[in-house]
Amino acid sequence: MLQGKNAIITGSTSGIGLGIARQLAKTGINVAINSYTDSQEDHKLAEDITQEFGVKAAFFSADMSKADACVSLVEQATESLGPISILVNNAGIQFVAPVEEFPPQKWDAILAINLSSVFHTTRAAVPGMKAFGWGRIINISSAHGLTASPFKSAYVAAKHGVVGFTKSVALELAEKNITCNAVCPGYVMTPLVESQIPEQMKAHNMDRETVIREVMLARQPTKDFATTEQIGDIVAFLCSDAAAQITGTPLSVDGGWTAL
């Protein structure tokens, strides 16, 4: 059912995005991966996916803070792979500061990449999905799309916006055989998170296990990270026939964080 379909995953050369791209490719989906960079390593990631999973994979550089780049990404991926019927909006950045000290340029960048890019790519992709007669839009929000933490005003605002946008688009497309859902992860073990553990150990004078449980996963009741593979498998499920009646839903993958 999914084999041979074409997907775009934004922000997908590492972490959650790459995990999603790999898991979709594993099911036979052709994938367009993306970053604002444009290096040999980026293109090699696409080559590696092609070799490992036997699908078509291509890398496209696009700055997701720019509306025209978001639209161009959809156009280029369509030209390279064919009709895009799966869109995974994953690109995101973070910055932490008290609201009165929050740099306005950081606010603007976070809203542009984490929220506005979701609109721009969706707007560009929906006509093709309608013509194709089938589509899946999956927006990677966050536990912070459902709850809040201090010092993350822009990120929390953007991720709440993603959940609201998801619901609205789902209603618009409900009779078009196109679903739109949001995945809301808590803490996920990515290379970026792994690199922060030694710093936290030093800052708190704790061993690795304690800093993970008591600092990094303090609000995650399972005291365990989700994996990028798990997030990828959830996205793949939302693309499947089994999920055809799941739309407009924020799906929490947060170890019980938002159940508190």
What is the distance in angstroms between the CA of the first residue and the CA of the last residue of the chain? 37
Mean pLDDT of the 79-105 span? 97
Q: Give the whole-number percent of the chain exceeding pLDDT 70.
A: 100
C-beta of residue 144 within 8 angstroms of C-beta of residue 156: yes
pLDDT at residue 126 tops 90: yes
Average pLDDT, the chain: 97
pLDDT at residue 260 tops 90: no
pLDDT at residue 86 tops 90: yes
pLDDT at residue 135 tops 90: yes
Which active-site residues does the annotation give?
155
pLDDT (0 to 100) of residue 5: 98
The whole-angstrom separation of Cα 203 and Cα 107 is 27
pLDDT at residue 20 tops 90: yes
pLDDT at residue 244 tops 90: yes
The whole-angstrom separation of Cα 153 and Cα 118 is 19
Mean pLDDT of the 132-137 span? 98
The whole-angstrom separation of Cα 149 and Cα 194 is 21
pLDDT at residue 1 tops 90: no
Mean pLDDT of the 173-189 span? 98
pLDDT at residue 192 tops 90: no
pLDDT (0 to 100) of residue 47: 98
The pLDDT tens digits of the residues spanning 29-78 come to 999 999 999 999 999 999 999 999 999 999 999 999 999 999 999 999 99
Measuring CA to CA, which residue among 27, 168, 22, 150 is closest to residue 90? 22
Q: Which residues neighbour 218 within 8 Å (Cβ) at sequence distance 6 or greater?
A: none
Residue with tokens 């609109």: 119
Backbone angles phi, psi at 234, to 5 degrees: -65, -40
C-beta of residue 90 within 8 angstroms of C-beta of residue 140: yes
The whole-angstrom separation of Cα 253 and Cα 65 is 26
The whole-angstrom separation of Cα 196 and Cα 60 is 28
pLDDT at residue 120 tops 90: yes
pLDDT at residue 178 tops 90: yes
Q: Which residues neighbour 207 within 8 Å (Cβ) at sequence distance 6 or greater?
A: 201
